[in-house]
Amino acid sequence: MTPEKFDDVLSWAVDLEDEARQQALRTAALPFVVKPLVLMPDAHFGLGATVGSVIATKGAIIPAAVGVDIGCGMVAVRTQFTSAGLPDNLNELHHQISRSIPSGVGKRFRDDVAPHALLPVYNGEMTEKQERTARTQLGTLGSGNHFIEVCLDEKDRVWLVLHSGSRGIGNQLAAHHIDKAKGLMKEWSIQLPDPDLAYLPENTPEWSAYIYDMRWAQRYATANRWVMMSAVINQLGRFLGEPAKSREHIDCHHNFTELEHHHGQDVWLTRKGAIKAAAGDKGVIPGSMGTASYIVTGLGNPASYNSCAHGAGRRMSRNRARSELSVDTLREDMKGKAWNADDAKALLDEHPDAYKKIDVIMEAQRDLVRIDHTLHQILNYKGV
């Protein structure tokens, strides 16, 4: 796809709503943002900055552009199994996974069974409540668009796919730093087109504190995914009566910032709902419930700051999806799969029709990634 250029924005976006377009322009206009700001194919309106945006900055970072689920991302594991070794009905496996991995808003392990040993060391200051949240939510899924899937690729090989992030502690740390940035804007009488574009100048104490917490939350998110994936691998092995083995694994963040070199200069590159796709980078790009997901290799397109889409991208807000879409069509889309069927009404905002078409998104980024494997889900577990 040939990207569209409008003002200081370079866009691969598919069906970009005007609200998101204007939001991207507001962000790109900030004096410390390196031009152009780049939009991925799945871009849509978000809090502060557009979801699916790649923002290069010098001298400052926007905490809300990274977002409140710092380090959220994907992990995928290819096992030794094929579809020939699976029974027709996977409802019991779904039940096993749901029993071993807590999901939903605020859900956690009891403190005496939480996987403390895998908690990344934190050298900052946390409240007792934050420490408890970090301990007891490690290895939990969360809600919204977070999920665990069992999928088959084009060779009928079994893959395990998981989407989650830094849970409540990442949210709390992000909210703290967003408030700090807003406080600085007020203290310095800086007027912004959107309060959520509040920024932290480089080499300030507030900047340093945010960088430390952001990097820690990324490590936490990675550990969280792998604690859960280990549990899923174990449950699959128990279900099939043979230990599951990892033949291939991929892990990638899609809410983070890091120092990178682009177009002859060092910049802080924020990917909000985008993954790194430098030449040879492996990535996981999920569709919505009931649709395909993709294992990809980055092509290293410099115009996109070596980035690509992180998923299908919403085309409806959650409230609109709940009011316009039906449980009956959701059940039809999920026919033949093991899923949270009893929670269909609660999952209506995750209806496939609330998202853009993933095959269209993938076609739009043929110059950003190469598709290695196409995965089709046969089990989907979500938190409600």
Name the residue among 104, 97, 121, 105 with its Cα closest to residue 220: 121
Task: Determine the Cα–Cα distance for residues 340 and 235; give it in Å rounded to an integer.
Answer: 17
From residue 369, alpha-carbon distances to 292, 312, 374 in Å are: 16, 15, 13
Q: How far is CA 110 from the centre of its chain?
A: 26
Structure tokens at 166: 């830094």
Question: What SS3 state is found at 163?
Answer: strand
Looking up tokens 């377009």, which residue turns up?
21
Task: Determine the Cα–Cα distance for residues 38 and 15; give it in Å rounded to an integer.
Answer: 15
Residues in the chain: 384
Q: Which helix (H) or strand (E) holds 209?
A: helix 205-240
Provide the sign of the torsion angle of the four alpha carbons 198, 202, 207, 211, taken in this order: positive
Is 310 assigned a catalytic role? yes
Structure tokens at 354: 């609330």
Task: Determine the Cα–Cα distance for residues 224 and 168; give it in Å rounded to an integer.
Answer: 12
For the sheet with 265-272, list strands across it. 4-6, 9-11, 33-44, 51-57, 265-272, 255-262
Cβ contact 151:377 at 8 Å: yes
Name the residue among 64, 68, 16 with its Cα closest to residue 40: 16
Task: Determine the Cα–Cα distance for residues 208 and 202; give it in Å rounded to an integer.
Answer: 8
Cβ contact 354:314 at 8 Å: yes
β strands within 185-317, DSSP E: 200-201, 246-253, 255-262, 265-272, 274-276, 282-285, 292-298, 307-309
Please tell me which residue in 146, 310, 351, 373 is annotated as part of the active site: 310
C-alpha triplet 133, 313, 39: angle, nearest 5°: 105
Q: Which residues are catalytic?
A: 310
